[in-house]
Amino acid sequence: MSVYLDNAATTKPCEPAVSAVFQNMVEDFGNPSSLHKMGLSAENNMTDARKAIAAALVCDPKCITFTSGATEANNTIILGAAKNYGKRNRKKIVVSAIEHPSVAEPIKYLEDSGEYTVVRIMSDRNGVIDPDDFIKAVDNDTFLVSCMLVNNETGAINPVKKIFSYVKRNFPECITHCDAVQGFMKIPIKSADIFADTIVVSGHKVHAVKGVGAMFIKNGVRIAPLVHGGGQEKGLRSGTEAVPLIAGFGAAVRALMGTMKTAYSNAETINAYLVKSLSKLDFVKINSKQENNSPYILNFSVEGIRSEIMLHYLESKEIYVSSGSACSKGAHSSVLTAMGISDKLADSAIRVSICRTTTVGEIDVLVNAIRDGYANLAKTK
């Protein structure tokens, strides 16, 4: 029995998404910029997908721009905002210190240029950004504020609305940006309610296929494009659109829309069962906090067993999870460090990320394998 519990990395494409991709590859394969019937059909399928993403974010479809994924979208918004808003004395960026690399790296690129100042806000011991720390750092020199909605390592949900509402009230010209990849289609997101000027989402995290993402850019916000060419996507992202992938993204979102509440409730049940089962193992420490946390992600440590060792043991049993330490060349997770978790436990961290089809039976298989793995691996130390 194969058990896939790495859904924060990528999800299995759903049947409606696969069907839409196939149809737009073999039937509606025209270029959406072409002025004939085949082109119009492709354009209409893109329009339907745009409406689906907009409905999920409760915004005007004209505010949705398709990209190759969240990484391109985050880079476009951050670098494009710097070009249009980072001028004169406004050279400051305030960002959470727990962002995904697709946010952290373009901001570091701007910082390394020597033209911009970056203030990074650490999380508290619950893995959540303290809104007061964030608010204190924003001033008249700040042109960009960025805070992710759901942390990809621990599932911690950040108080984005409180942070962004303060910023827009006191510094209305400052751009508020939210990487919502791990929250999209899991928790309700209304662009206006969280006071976000820009939002990024990804297709392959919501049962669409890889290679497509989208960015919400509020009407009136000016983001300079990274890619220049034929002027597709309102000039924000030139290049012939990947219609099959876009259509699949739209189909996946439409398929999930009506069942988000039920899926969330199921995720809460599965998460609680996982926590209860792991808590019976005295060598396991739960890192994710139960308050203000997405039930779709759980981070825990198997004491004394390095992440990659346990990960590959589970893989040998056809159980697929990921390392929760997010290490790079020996660097420890800044998220787990900020939470007061020791380097030793961080080195043993595992991230389990479930989806709407995860079952209690699959959790039993995982927990039994962790128990057996610890017994076997501890002997070899």
Rounded to the nearest 10 degrees, what angle do helices 307-316 and 360-379 cross at?
120
- Distance from C-alpha of 360 to C-alpha of 225, rounded to nearest angstrom: 46
Q: Taking Cα atoms as reference points, which of 253, 214, 241, 206 lies closest to residue 24? A: 241
Say whether 327 is catalytic. yes
Which residue is catalytic, options 59, 174, 327, 355? 327
Q: Which residues of 173-212 are buried (b: 16+ CB within 10 A; e: fewer)?
A: ebbbbbbbbbbbbbbebebeebbbbbbbbbbbbbbbbebb
Question: DSSP secondary-structure letter at 123?
Answer: B
- Asked if residue 214 lies in contact with residue 252, where contact means CB atoms within 8 angstroms, the answer is no
Amino acid letter for position 315:
E
Distances from the Cα of 290 to the Cαs of 187, 201, 275, 286, 350, in angstroms? 16, 25, 9, 10, 16
Q: Which residues pair with 285 in a beta bridge?
A: 301
Residue count of the chain: 381
Is the separation of the CB atoms in 314 and 351 below 8 Å? no
Q: Residue 198's beta-bridge partner residues?
A: 177, 217
Residues 129 and 98 sit within 8 Å (Cβ to Cβ): yes
The residue among 44, 143, 32 whose CA lies nearest residue 94 is 143
Query: Cα 252 vs. chain centroid, distance in angstroms?
Result: 16
* 3-class SS of residue 303: coil
CA distance 185 to 182: 9
Catalytic amino acids?
327
